[in-house]
Amino acid sequence: MIFTDKRYILLKALKESNSWLSGTELSKSIGITRAGISKHVQALRKMGYEIETQTNKGIRYIASPNKVLPDEIRPLIEENSIVGSKFFFADEIDSTNKKASALAEDGTPDGTVVLAEKQTAGKGRLGRKWESPENTGIYCSVVLRPQLALPETALITFIVAIAISEAIRECCPTLQTQIKWPNDILVNDKKIVGVLTEASAEMQHVNHVIVGFGINVNTYAEHLPPRFIFPASSLAVESKHDVDRVTLAALCLKQLDFWYNCLNNGGADKIVERWKKLSTMIGRAVVVEQINSKIEGTIEGVSKDGALLVKDKNKTHVMYSGDVKYAGVASR
């Protein structure tokens, strides 16, 4: 993917140079006026970038803010083909899924990414809340426009969970992630990541799907909600060191691009195979709670369209939604 945004090109040039760059040279090489350069420098400073300017010397990059900013991620995902086609960033937002959904309705392209440093109304499933304290986590939603029939879109939650697991494994090699159907990623049986997939469809046609994920990265106990089973934790707590959020966010988007292309190109079998390897649920005794029912049994596997297969005394249940608890573990 080639990013042509002038502010991004200016920032990249400044970062790649260890010394002062002349404003006149920059304006020539980027193809904007000197006033244009000043305007972009002001905008970058407003975002928290430290950039120095001196009349005789020119312009110099000093440091980036501690934020998961699009211009920090872009250089790391230049090989992506769809995910990252466009970015939207906010320091504070109600919900990145809500914003992504509004952008999707306005026709934003496949692969548009929405990022925020803090959410005031982060959404979980079934009206639950996702705690999203500022400057510590990754709160991200991606607009996808898959060329798939409606039943196949169930695998979208799978590709997001696979992508994030692979990214965490690469970033924090000492941690073992486990995918818990349908939408959690656990480390040491603690919830680190939540994924929320929301589809807009008519009849059998999918308009778009919003995939949102929240990752507790450098978040500490006082900002995490109490949970009885699968308690909330973060990568920093589990790995005992802080994790670079930009690197991790870029790896997630890189992996998501790979698995999204796989899904669009008939790779359902490969996705289900990888999911099974990254989950530790197969063969475990569980209780699956749905709004009006409860099934107790053993997990046999997952179907090609994303359902959980749970076998009890009588039959194998094909479950498309529900909350899973391991049998024998006290309720939440």
Torsions phi, psi for 72 (to 5 deg): -85, -35
Rounded to the nearest 5 degrees, what angle is found at the Cα of 88, between the Cα atoms of 86 and 94? 145
* Rounded least distance, CB 265 to ligand BT5, Å: 26
| Residue 314 DSSP code | S
φ/ψ of 156, rounded to 5, equals -65, -40
Site for ligand BT5 contains 322 (CB under 6 A): no
Does position 289 bind ligand BT5 by CB under 6 A? no
Question: Is the CB of 224 or the CB of 251 nearer to ligand BT5?
Answer: 224
Tell which residue, 253, 140, 240, 232, has the closest CA to residue 187: 232
Give 96 or 165: the residue with its C-beta nearer to ligand BT5: 96
Helix (H) or strand (E) holding 197: strand 190-202
Least gap, CB of 96 to ligand BT5 (angstroms): 4
* DSSP tag of 308: E
Residue 216 touches ligand BT5, criterion: CB under 6 A: yes
Chain positions 120 to 159 lying near ligand BT5, rule: CB under 6 A, are: 122-126, 128-131, 139-141
Instruction: Kindly give, in sequence order, each residue whose CB lies less than 8 Å from that of residue 262, ignoring residues fewer than 6 positions away.
Output: 159, 270, 271
95 lines the binding site for ligand BT5 (CB under 6 A): yes
In the shown chain, the binding pattern of residues 164 to 203 toward ligand BT5, with x for contact by CB under 6 A and - for none, equals -------------------xx------x--xxx-------
Footprint (CB under 6 A) of ligand BT5, residues 220-249: 224-225, 227, 232
Q: How far is the CB of 97 from ligand BT5 (least distance, A)?
A: 4
Rank residues 10 and 144 by Cβ distance to ligand BT5 and give the closer one. 144
Of residues 70, 84, 214, 297, which one binds ligand BT5 by CB under 6 A?
214
Q: 226: closest CA among 307, 291, 129?
A: 129
DSSP assignment of 238-283: HHTS---HHHHHHHHHHHHHHHHHHHHTT-HHHHHHHHHHHB--TT
Contacts with ligand BT5 by CB under 6 A lie at: 95-97, 119, 122-126, 128-131, 139-141, 183-184, 191, 194-196, 212-214, 216, 224-225, 227, 232
